[in-house]
A and B are shown apart, each in its own frame.
Chain A
Amino acid sequence: GAVVSQHPSWVICKSGTSVKIECRSLDFQATTMFWYRQFPKQSLMLMATSNEGSKATYEQGVEKDKFLINHASLTLSTLTVTSAHPEDSSFYICSARRAGGQSWDQETQYFGPGTRLLVL
């Protein structure tokens, strides 16, 4: 299998607080993890690409100081939304790409179940 988990699944916080979201690949090692944001009825928007042991690569327009990404191991990446504001309320989804395996599988991204963030 290729199972990716995210924690928490739901978070409600006050404006100005920081929120940490964990993304774990449960039964495989992930060379690369990706973080997406999705607003209602809109498509997935890639925020950043995270490689284990190196700095994340952020997409244009995504503030790296606001969205801190740490990829400490081949099975764990974290996204911290610092000083969250209501406009950061969204559905945050991570995905992971498997290390090794057949060539097609190395390209496939397996998604976590997502984290719904509501900032009051």
Chain B
Amino acid sequence: GQNIDQPTEMTATEGAIVQINCTYQTSGFNGLFWYQQHAGEAPTFLSYNVLDGLEEKGRFSSFLSRSKGYSYLLLKELQMKDSASYLCAVGQAGTALIFGKGTTLSVSS
């Protein structure tokens, strides 16, 4: 079957670093996506990994290990506006992305 796991909730303080993990078991794999979703809004695209390794984009980085079925999203220098849900999703050629249930991150001052 298709399974994507990520923690339900995480908390952190401003200025800190937080790592959101995601493990997946899917029948196909055509890339790992991370989306950010603020409450009451639609998801926005953050990152895409298809090869093993770390992709850095400003304060956000995403890592992938295909052999382990594992990814993480690293957020540095946390800001209050980073409080949101972070969705891990697996792409499979020709079909819709398979989303995890999301990790709600709360950043406090």
A28 at the interface (CB under 8 A from B): no
Q: Which A residues lie within 8 Å of B87 (CB)?
A: 43-44
Q: Number of A-B pairs whose CB atoms are under 8 Å?
A: 47
B30 at the interface (CB under 8 A from A): yes
Knowing A104-B48, A107-B93, A108-B33 touch, does A43 contact B100 (C-beta < 8 A)? yes
Size bracket, chain A contacts? 10 to 19
A108 touches B100 (CB 8 A): no
Bound-state CA distance A114–B31 (Å) is 25
Task: List chain B positions with a Cβ less than 8 A from chain A.
Answer: 30-31, 33, 35, 40-45, 48, 50, 87, 91, 93, 95-97, 99-102
Task: List chain A positions with a Cβ less than 8 A from chain B.
Answer: 34, 42-44, 46, 49, 91, 93, 103-104, 107-114, 116
Q: List 20 A-B contacts (CB under 8 A).
A: A43-B87, A43-B99, A44-B43, A44-B87, A49-B96, A91-B40, A93-B42, A93-B43, A107-B33, A107-B48, A107-B91, A107-B93, A107-B97, A108-B91, A109-B96, A110-B45, A111-B42, A113-B41, A114-B41, A114-B42
